[in-house]
Amino acid sequence: EVSRDLAGTPNQEVQPSSSTAPVDGAYSRDDDSSSSSDSRENYPFRFGQWCLFVGGPRGPEDLFSSYESGSLLGMASAICRPRTWSVTVTACHSGEAVCMSSAEVSKPFFYLYDTLHSRLGIQLPFTHFERSVLQALNVAPTQLHPNSWAFVRAFELLCEDLGKVPTLGVFFWFFTPRKMDRVGWTSLSNRPKRSLLWPFSESYKGFKNLFFRVAPNDSNSRLLVDRDGRQHFPLQWTRRPAVSISVAVKNLESWEWAFIAELKD
């Protein structure tokens, strides 16, 4: 079934995945380490995509990393949770932009902003929920603005504190992609009359040039793909990020509705 939530923008209604939440929404850290990757065909949403030219953030000063070889000593350990997969962190080449494709590189990698771990406390491997948000929005890690990453992380912590698992249905009930007039990062904002969290910063600065390459040391690592070889999230900037996500109310579980009511209060 195809509908249109935005003028001229096709949206696909899809069914919820049984793997997005445990019974009754009880929180468990085991769900974060799940190696299964949700397909966009399993989301309880209608989502719109916007075909665009990936030119990255405006201005050359926003595109290139200021890190040099030798300046990332200890970064691989800093960005990973203890006793998890081993990764290699390398500086970008001269002229290598954050929105560039790695199609010509044999070893898969993705770019990561330093601010995710240093200011927001986000570490690798990404949780199941974090990977699912990237998939639903169809964006790479650096394509999602840090202020929006802060919404994702704060929602996870809120759910953990309340003993609930974070689900996409509840998250996107409160948050929506923000339409932007120019090519750049994908941003999230509170939906009208459904405000849940304040932005981490009114003007998030000082992160644009601080990014680097991240690649798994082990080719059999589950950092990037699941057991079936499907990517957990886009590795590089995509040309079709989601610009609208409408939650299919009829597909929400009863406990999710109860949780939404609790959060609204």
Per-residue pLDDT of the chain (265 residues; tens, 9 = 90+): 222 232 223 333 333 332 333 334 554 444 443 333 344 445 555 555 544 444 445 444 557 888 876 789 899 999 999 877 789 999 998 888 898 876 556 788 999 999 999 999 999 999 999 999 999 999 999 999 999 999 999 999 999 999 999 999 999 999 999 866 565 899 999 999 999 999 887 778 889 989 999 999 887 788 898 888 899 999 999 989 998 999 988 889 999 999 999 999 8
Return the ∠ at Cα 34 (arms to 73 and 81), rounded to 5°: 20
* Residue 170: C-alpha distances to residues 24, 150, 235 (Å): 14, 16, 25
**Global pTM exceeds 0.85:** no
